[in-house]
Structure 1
Amino acid sequence: MQAKTNDTTVARGREAETRAAAYLENQGLRLVDRNFRVRGGEIDLIMRDGRTLVFVEVRQRSRTDYGGAGASITVHKQRRIILAARHYLARRGDCECRFDCLLIDDGRIEWLRHAFSVDA
């Protein structure tokens, strides 16, 4: 039964990332990469907003009982995203970048630009 739960969770995560990418593309951003992983961190979406590279964390929650999607982006999670972003930039060259979050709470989308910084 555990595998079925994980498969469903993974499928919902992929669906949320696809929805988030489409939403951000409709806002004028361009998708560069998805699910960039390094040891110790992952970035859900990497988008381009003009000259700025945008590292996007996508969080979806069907219920808001425990603070919703935004509450799940802890300082520890932010550090893991920053670690992955540093690896990405080291491989592809430095450029202007920012960290955004796209939250999907009970079907509603909220886009947080500049959600956190490397000082996290």
Structure 2
Amino acid sequence: MLKSPTQKVGLSFEIAARKYLEDKGFVWIKSNYSQAGGEIDLIMLDDETLVFIEVRSRKNNAYGTAAETIGKAKQSKLLNTAEHFILSKKEFSKLNCRFDVVSYDNGKLNYIKNAFS
């Protein structure tokens, strides 16, 4: 259950990101996959590639862009959570994987394919 206005805004950006990617041909698998070590906003297929997508937003860029807020610690959590997902869903274990970012800076969408590895 969403508790705060910030969570509601985050959900609206995740929905918009999903629609954007579906319009590009991605196939949705799961939203907000979580385990003890972290959460992945969107998991989708891009042809034969399993894509883990982090969605971020910022109202202003005074302290950097939304994508720049995904530091090494967050990347590590995403990697661990993705590994957990793959181990629990054997049907995806043979696919190539990548990590993409959909960021919104002042409401403008930016898509970064292969944002980190």
Q: TM-score range by the shorter chain?
A: over 0.9
- 1:56 is matched with 53
Partner of residue 85 from structure 2, selected from 75, 88, 96: 88
Which runs of structure 1 show a deviation greater than 6 angstroms over 4 or more consecutive aligned residues? none
1:67 to 2:55 alignment: no
Distance 2:38 2:47 in 1: 25
RMSD of the alignment, in Å? 0.9
- 1:47 is matched with 44
Q: Give me the TM-score of the superposition, normalised by structure 1.
A: 0.90
- 1:3 is matched with none
Distance 1:70 1:59 in 2: 7
- 2:110 is matched with 110
Distance 1:50 1:9 in 2: 33
Q: Deviations over 1:39-94 (max 9, x none)?
A: 01110000110111100000011111110201110000000011100000001121
Distance 1:16 1:66 in 2: 20
Letter in 2 for 1:40: G
Equivalences, count:
112
Distance 1:30 1:108 in 2: 23
Q: Give me the TM-score of the superposition, normalised by structure 2.
A: 0.93
Distance 1:88 1:47 in 2: 12
Distance 2:18 2:62 in 1: 26
**SS in structure 1 at match of 2:66:** helix
- The structural deviation recorded for 1:96 is 1.0
**SS in structure 2 at match of 1:22:** helix
Unaligned runs of 5+ in 1: 1-5
Partner of residue 21 from structure 1, selected from 18, 32, 44: 18
